[in-house]
Amino acid sequence: MNPSVAFAISAMCGLAAMWALAGLAGADRVRWSPRITLLIAVAVVAWSLGGIVSWLAGVDAPARPGVFLGYAATGIGLAVVGLPAVTRQTTRMAAVTRFLVLALLAFVCWRTESVWLMAAPG
């Protein structure tokens, strides 16, 4: 897995989370676009599956396989199920839920990369 790509995806999720939170102001120009949801979901799923495929193919292996698999599955689940679910919401609280899901997704992507690189304790 590439740390630069992990940083880019985490930053993209974090910036999208801030933009989602700006929706609380109620401005029409800050309206959430389904294209953003699609872009983030595809990026997270492709990046996570790339790590899993390289691990299964024997090209590279995570330092902590079980933890990596848990974070990767959580990230894929948030991107495929959680993000589209909050994208369909239209209330003012939708901005808060989008922010929470995107912030959690940014954290999970960062942790996925970090458990790939760091050795198990002990």
Q: What is the pLDDT of residues 46-85, one digit of tens each?
A: 999 999 998 899 888 888 888 999 999 999 999 999 988 8
Residue entry with tokens 């940083």: 7
Question: If you average pLDDT over every residue of the chain, what do you get?
Answer: 86
Largest CA distance in the chain: 53
Contact 102, 17 (CB under 8 A): yes
Alpha helix segments (H runs only) across the chain: 3-22, 34-56, 65-77, 83-87, 93-117
Q: Kindly report the pTM of this predicted structure.
A: 0.86
Q: At residue 17, does pLDDT exceed 80?
A: yes
Across the range 13-38, mean pLDDT stands at 80
Q: At residue 28, does pLDDT exceed 90?
A: no
Q: Where are the domains positioned within the chain? A: 3-117
Cα–Cα distance measured from residue 118 to residue 30, given in angstroms and rounded to the nearest whole number = 38
For 58-63, the CB contacts below 8 A with 24+ separation are 60/1, 62/1, 62/115, 62/116, 63/115, 63/116, 63/117, 63/118, 63/119, 63/120
pLDDT cut 90: percent of the chain above it: 43
